Structure 1
């Protein structure tokens, strides 16, 4: 499941006393549309967005067609070196809510970095990997593909993504076995620059839910993952935005704690993994970040796990099929 925070639980991440900056490249620039939605034309200034191009999107919602007068709108797609010209609208909380209601379910509101360096909202494709070109993956041993000679779900994603456009599509899997979100947050900034990512895919693995078995390990910052989830994701979000990359966060996969036992000095439990799942989901909902729930594809299917923790090849195939269905 892919949660769309803009639709399910609107939350404004800036104070009500400051206008919201919304980048528009389509019908929202039309004063007639603004008057219909906001009751007046709103303050607007020219702006541009690098790293994107546009493609047509057919519209079937009669109310949206009636307001805009068009049955084909534009949607953004990633393209290195391209620029989309548009405008920044200065909106109130009420205006922003009206804009959310106007946009069809094919769009979702996310943060982008304008050519001027200003951060603004923009309506992007609701399926976060569909418009992507250059994807960087960070995560743990499951994202790395351990226990699967084919390289796990990430290798399957890379193969299909690159096959769709070998000239422009790239996937860089930077997952490190044993990593937590905190470690990914510390290591990722130095890795992104030369890869020119437009999408940062973070696999929130079970290491953040692990319980250390010794006092010495308990003192390690890397193993207080549940307490640091929000801080770690804040760091990753800031890194992604600095590169104008869309952040997509994958929740943990199901584990069979009866088979995991004690693993490398750590204990993994379903209850702690569920707590991590909810913490990540809540953070994404609050911050308008794409969250992909990866729990259900393996839930109760212990035969798809090698050791109760790491998926076998069939398990990775199930994860890949689920990711593709909800994100592409």
Structure 2
């Protein structure tokens, strides 16, 4: 029989209530006071009858980012079963993610399931598509920045640090040194198409079998980097490509099969590690007219990607 692992969970609302704990876990669980810096809360209306019955409330709280603020709460010590029960209790508006408490302890907390909605200071890293190549308006990232900053010019910031040609290896090596002065609360990694590229001399049957492990290692490094800054890691997957038009691109070739493998691997890693995954494939799928060269979106293509991203994350 597998032994249950211990977990810690930061609670700032109804999970601190002993009656709720008894309903969910069958007992009151060990707790200790705790504080989460860089956050505040806002009310969230609840419509799920079971959750309302357990808590006695039809309005709960949800976390928002706010520099200089802190949320007081408690750390709950839970078993595997307890954590599963807490996951089932929280409505779809919440997602369980890692945070760092004021004490320096890493723990679980339930955050807004729409990952960019509570963001204030966003750092974007990635490749030429995130950089905005082929679009004088800065691509989907430029449009995201304009809308985000317009929402609160005083507190909102977006730093687009994407570099054309970058892979996840490049991004994982370069990002740690870039975050400190920008004080991010959100690290948006555009895991682009370069991670699926093959040199022209390599055939599909000779693909490096260590690639999935290497991908997981790079993402794990980025997750650790984000957590070091108490920032939320958000991974944006690759956009659709028109394989018939990509041909030889600077000694590399791109295929839909490889791009789809990358997309699936990113999604699986994110789901397994409780990290937000934003699927960017659909807005350009089968719309070759929205691609300049089969790979890079046109300005209209970037607009379509931004609309899709906005719907997923806000």
Question: TM class, shorter-chain normalised?
Answer: over 0.9
SS at match of 1:263: coil
Structure 1 segment 179-218 matched on structure 2, within 5 A: 179-214=166-201
Aligned partner of 2:205 in structure 1 is none
Moved over 4 A (4+): 224-227
Distance 1:313 1:16, change over 3 A: farther
Aligned partner of 1:11 in structure 2 is none
Task: Give the Å deviation of 1:62.
Answer: 1.0
Task: Give the Å deviation of 1:269.
Answer: 0.7
Structure 1 segment 246-265 matched on structure 2, within 5 A: 246-265=232-251
Distance 1:234 1:198 in 2: 18
Aligned partner of 2:28 in structure 1 is 41
- The aligned length equals 307
Aligned partner of 1:310 in structure 2 is 296
1:158 equivalent in alignment to 2:145: yes
Aligned partner of 1:239 in structure 2 is 225
Aligned partner of 1:230 in structure 2 is 216
Contact preservation (8 Å) 1:298, 1:315: yes
| 1:74 paired residue among 61, 65, 78 | 61
> What's the CA shift string for 1:74-122, capped at 9, x where partnerless?
0000001111000000000000010011111111100001111111000
- Whose relative contact order is higher, 1 or 2, with alpha carbons under 8 Å and at least 6 apart? 1
| 2:109 paired residue among 122, 137, 154 | 122
Task: Give the Å deviation of 1:213.
Answer: 2.4
Contact preservation (8 Å) 1:206, 1:273: yes
Gaps (5+ residues) in structure 1? 1-14, 216-220
| 2:7 paired residue among 11, 16, 20 | 20
Task: Give the Å deviation of 1:225.
Answer: 5.9
Distance 2:22 2:199 in 1: 58
Structure 1 segment 265-280 matched on structure 2, within 5 A: 265-280=251-266
Distance 2:246 2:135 in 1: 17
Distance 1:225 1:174 in 2: 25
> What's the CA shift string for 1:191-221, capped at 9, x where partnerless?
0000000000000101000001258xxxxx9
Structure 1 segment 49-64 matched on structure 2, within 5 A: 49-64=36-51
Distance 1:225 1:146, change over 3 A: farther
Distance 1:89 1:226, change over 3 A: closer
Aligned partner of 1:322 in structure 2 is 308
1:29 equivalent in alignment to 2:9: no
> What's the CA shift string for 1:24-82, capped at 9, x where partnerless?
00000010110011000000000000110001111111111111111111000000111
SS at match of 2:70: strand
Contact preservation (8 Å) 2:5, 2:80: no
Distance 2:113 2:238 in 1: 21
Distance 2:52 2:198 in 1: 54
SS at match of 1:64: helix
SS at match of 1:81: strand
Distance 1:39 1:172, change over 3 A: same
Distance 1:275 1:142, change over 3 A: same
Distance 1:146 1:35 in 2: 55
Distance 1:16 1:117 in 2: 27
Q: CA RMSD in A?
A: 1.4
Normalising by structure 1, report the TM-score. Answer: 0.91
SS at match of 2:20: helix
